[in-house]
């Protein structure tokens, strides 16, 4: 399925709120991702993404509609040569190969645009789909920490996947 990564804009607010307001998405993200996802959350998010130069968080657009997000998050101090990958996609687009290709695109962008040597992601141990997507995109499992995440009343494993600049 065809898609593109592009900067967010305020015209995306309705589709952002429509697709982000999904418990199945929120249950695999940190608690900073609101659930329910409201209009004001979307406005704050889009405005935050517009502050980055160069862009770090992109909309995933399919057929002219923003239906997901993918971004690289800067690290500081001794971790400054690393960026953390974060992403989500509207449930109706799951299983179509979009996220694997989007991750490959943003990895390429990240290594070309920023002074980094490593991009990492931290999926929950219960998020098998995300683990498979990362592996298909060339990421390697570096670590598993048992029961370090507390989400929705239960302890979950935290996995660390990474890809390094060649």
State the pLDDT at residue 162. 98
Within-domain flag for 92: yes
What is the number of domains present in the chain? 1
Please check whether residue 138 lies inside any domain of the structure: no
| Structural domain includes residue 126 | no
According to DSSP, residue 54 is labeled S
Q: At what angle do helices 13-20 and 39-49 cross, to 10 degrees?
A: 120
- The DSSP output letter for 51 is T
pLDDT of 62: 97
Beta strands in 8-153 (DSSP E): 57-62, 65-74, 82-89, 118-121, 140-151
- Burial annotation 69-85 (CB, 10 A radius, 16+ → b, else e): bbbbeeeeeeeeebbbb
Q: Domain residues for 79?
A: 4-117
68 domain residue, yes or no: yes
88 inside domain = yes
The model carries a pTM of 0.96
Query: What does the pLDDT read at residue 166?
Result: 82
CB 113 within 8 A of CB 54: yes
Q: What is the pLDDT of residue 1?
A: 77
* 99 domain residue, yes or no: yes
- Inside any domain, residue 129: no
Q: In 3-state terms, what secondary structure has residue 73?
A: strand
Write the pLDDT tens digit of every residue in 66-105: 999 999 999 999 999 999 999 999 999 999 999 999 999 9
| CATH code at position 74 | 3.40.630.30
Q: Burial, 59: exposed, middle or buried (Cβ in 10 Å; 0-12, 13-18, 19+)? A: buried
Q: Running along the chain, 166 residues long, what does each successive block of 10 average in pLDDT?
A: 95 98 96 96 97 97 97 98 98 96 98 98 97 98 98 97 95
Is residue 30 in a domain? yes
pLDDT recorded at residue 6: 98
* pLDDT at site 163: 98
d(CA 30, CA 19): 17
């Amino acid at each position: 399925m065809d898609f593109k990564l592009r900067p967010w804009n305020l015209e995306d607010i309705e589709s952002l709120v429509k697709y982000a307001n999904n418990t199945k998405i929120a249950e695999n993200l940190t608690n900073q991702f609101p659930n329910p996802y409201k209009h004001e959350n979307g406005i704050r998010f889009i405005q935050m993404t517009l502050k980055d130069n160069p862009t770090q968080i992109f909309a995933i657009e399919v057929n002219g509609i923003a239906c997901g997000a993918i971004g690289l998050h800067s690290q500081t101090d001794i971790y400054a040569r690393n960026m953390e990958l974060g992403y989500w996609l509207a449930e109706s687009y799951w299983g179509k190969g979009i996220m694997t290709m989007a991750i490959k695109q943003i990895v390429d962008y990240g290594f070309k645009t920023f002074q980094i040597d490593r991009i990492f992601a931290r999926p929950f141990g219960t998020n098998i789909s995300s683990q498979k997507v990362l592996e298909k995109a060339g990421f390697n499992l570096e670590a598993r920490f048992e029961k370090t995440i507390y989400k929705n009343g239960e302890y979950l494993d935290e996995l660390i996947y990474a890809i390094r600049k060649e």
